[in-house]
Amino acid sequence: MTHTKESALMTDVAIAQAMEPGSTTTPRMIVHEWVGQLTNALSSQDVAAAADLFLPDGVVRDLLALSWDFRNAIGHQEISTCLAVPAADRPTSIQVRPGNASVVVEEGTSGAISAFLQFRNSAGNGFGHVRLVQPDDDGTWLAATLVLALDALDSHPECHLDARPSGRTHGPVRNRVGWQDGLDPEFTQQEPDVVILGAGHNGLMLAARLRALGIPALVLEPNERVGDNWRKRYSSLALHTPLASDHLPYLPFPSTWPRFTPKDKLGDFLESYATLLDLAVWTGTTVDAAKFDEPSRRWIVDINRQGNHRRIKPKHLVFATGMNAAPNIPEVPGGSEFQGTVMHAVDYKGHAQWQGKRAVVVGSGVSGHDIAQDLAEHGVDVTMIQRSGTFVMNTSTFHKVMHANHVSGKYSTEEADLINASTPFGALPAHGPKHVELVKAMDRELLDGLIEAGFELSDGPDGQGVLGLIFGLNGTGYYYNAGASELIIDGTIKLRHGSVEGLSSSGVLLDGDRSLAADLVVFATGYQGAPSVVRQVLGGDIADRVGEFAKVGADREYGRLWRRTAVDQLWFMVSLGIGDGRFYSKLLALQLAAMEAGTMPYTEQEQ
């Protein structure tokens, strides 16, 4: 992990004076003392004493640091259980990371210290982050959150920075092999250890991580070019997330890159990423059949690569096919009578052929807003049908509230990722009401305008906003405003409420015997869940064993993403955005490498 902008952070002395004028106890001393107490408690196996170092509702998140899994604990009882690990699994050392930038006091607080840590365990090195507060006036510092994440394996040093490959050995070398000759993207010399289905950002980031660890990996992509999954979408599409959250590992976007990445540029960047990092990607390739062979402990994967058939036998199979599968298109009567065009949002390519015509967009989530805006900005008479309330915030507010650590300028990308990982996914909805309060304060004018225009707003489940929708319900129903809201407010995008009951020859039939003329109807009605792809590729038996792997479970973790599943040597590299993919791709790659090193058991039963 790297860290930057040390000059922008307060020194120990300045922090101490800001916290308590005249104090000789620095924040670094406070953190060192707390870490020392934690280390002593763990080494003596006094988990009760360790738990007492946390707030009553304190949080611990273990990401391959204390176990070969993702675990979390909230409260003293759970923390005691989480920290009660065998001696072989306990960190051999935990320290405050060197450097002035590793310890800071949060702005606007009188006594909250955040610190970056480093540790060693039996497998390698890791990093951590702790947030300390003073709940009382007795001088005691307790941890609100602690996250420890494995970062490097002794068995598989990461080939980057000072450990990068030389490219050419200087001096005479008999039978020298050139760089390209040393690559084997066709896997003629060996089988890949890992086959990854999907060359989107998730699949490519995992492949890059594995290559840096020396693990042979092959990515299979059905499109003809890497990045086509973005290029084939409508022309105005761009990422909503801030650029600071969207960098890919080893190859961040250049400083001249647009703040919001257009879809074609992202597609080209992904293609360049695969080329520059020497990733083995077979495009135009689909899987005909795949099954696990118990005797050899390998997958047997039959593929069709642009009409040529081949069988490959990797040890691990990874689905990187995205959170969304096939589109959900509601069955409505009258489809054969409609004289216009009906499509799902995934098939919408742009406004060009609809200028001067009438369009109806069914749905008021992100896709529905984006498509309605694209049509309206180019002279199309467009009506949005809102079926239920939508949580709305400006994109700028979304960045400040949901991506605060990445856009603050205080932290490197890796540091911001680690801080965000302090909170278990299942605990995020509890922070939702505070987010909703902030959004309403920051976007009051916009929200009032939407209400006046008749747009139905929602605060999400139990007032938890986006966090409750995504991590509670695993659902949608939100929009980060990039301009569509203003068009709804001024009436450019017309608004109707209700459900589509059917189609007539001339348009849409709504409930209550209402009708709406249309030349184009776009159903922005979401997608089937990720498990449906597993059922399609591996069959019903394995799909049933895997279950709903892409939902937050009772353990507050995100199903079985990025870690063991109910099927040995089957993995899921799926994420909601580039940021999560960047962070968890490393943890998944480390698990695969640890298995190849014999450090992590191949099966869950052996663990």
Could you tell me the CATH number of the domain that includes residue 239? 3.50.50.60
Residues 428 and 512 occupy one common structural domain: yes
In this structure, the answer to whether residues 285 and 386 fall within a common structural domain is no
The continuous run of DSSP H or E covering 243 comes out as none
| pLDDT confidence of residue 15 | 46
Question: What residues does 497 pair with on adjacent strands?
Answer: 386
Encoding tokens for residue 523? Answer: 């159903």
Please, what is the end-to-end C-alpha distance for the chain in angstroms?
28
> Total domain count for the chain?
3
User: Is residue 595 pLDDT above 90, yes or no?
Assistant: yes
The residue from 480, 497, 527 where one domain ends is 527
pLDDT digits (tens, 9 = 90+) for 169-206: 899 999 888 889 889 999 999 999 999 999 999 999 99
Q: Same structural domain for residues 595 and 577?
A: yes
Tell me if 57 is assigned to some domain. Answer: yes
The set of residues, in sequence order, having a beta carbon less than 8 Å from that of 394 and lying 6+ positions away, is: 442, 443, 446, 480, 481, 485
Separation CA 353–CA 437 (nearest Å)? 42
For residue 414, name the pLDDT band (cuts at 50, 70, 90). Answer: very high
Looking at every residue in the chain, the average pLDDT score rounds to 92
Task: Output the six-digit token pair for 588.
Answer: 């998944």
Q: How far apart are CA 413 and CA 3, in angstroms?
A: 9
What's the CATH number where 103 sits? Answer: 3.10.450.50
Is residue 16 situated within a structural domain? Answer: yes
357 plus 490 within the same structural domain: yes
364 and 391 share one domain: yes
User: What residues are paired with 506 via a beta bridge?
Assistant: none
Q: In 3D, which of 123, 122, 81, 115 has the Cα closest to residue 98?
A: 115
Looking at the domain assignment, is residue 148 inside a domain? yes
Q: Are residues 380 and 480 in the same domain?
A: yes
Phi, then psi, of 585 in degrees rounded to 5: -60, -35
Q: Name the residue with tokens 């941890």.
A: 143
For residue 507, what are the β-bridge partners? 517
Please, what is the angle between helix 27-43 and helix 12-19, to 10°? 100
User: What global pTM score does this model have?
Assistant: 0.94
Q: Domain end: 495, 527, 559, which one? A: 527
The one-character DSSP state at 488 is H
Query: What confidence score (pLDDT) does residue 106 get?
Result: 78
d(CA 117, CA 130) in angstroms, rounded, equals: 7
The crossing angle, in degrees rounded to 10, of helices 578-597 and 413-420 is 90
The model's pLDDT over 541-569, given as tens digits with 9 standing for 90+, comes to 999 999 888 899 999 999 899 999 999 99
Residue 250 lies in a domain: yes
371 and 265 both lie in a single domain: no
Q: Is residue 285 part of a domain?
A: yes
- In the structure encoding, which two tokens stand for residue 407, read together? 């856009």
Of 481, 504, 527, which residue is a domain's last? 527
21 and 84 part of one domain: yes
* Residue 448 included in any domain: yes
Residue 178 located in a structural domain: no
The domain containing residue 87 runs over which residues?
A: 6-153
Four-point Cα dihedral 227, 233, 238, 241, nearest 10:
-70
Kindly state whether residue 170 falls inside one of the protein's structural domains: no
| Same domain flag for 366 and 492 | yes
Instruction: Show the tokens assigned to 318.
Output: 């990874």
My answer on whether 348 and 288 are in the same domain is no
Is 303 in the same domain as 376? no
Interval 317-341 mean pLDDT: 90
Q: Are residues 318 and 375 in the same domain?
A: no
Please write the tens of the pLDDT for every residue from 203-224: 999 999 999 999 999 999 999 9
Closest-CA residue to 112 (of 98, 89, 130, 94): 130
Q: If you search the block for the tokens 């759970």, which residue do you land on?
A: 78
Contact status, residue 466 vs residue 377, Cβ threshold 8 Å: no
Any idea what DSSP says for residue 252? P
Q: How confident is the model over 267-298, as pLDDT tens digits?
A: 999 999 999 999 999 999 999 999 999 999 99
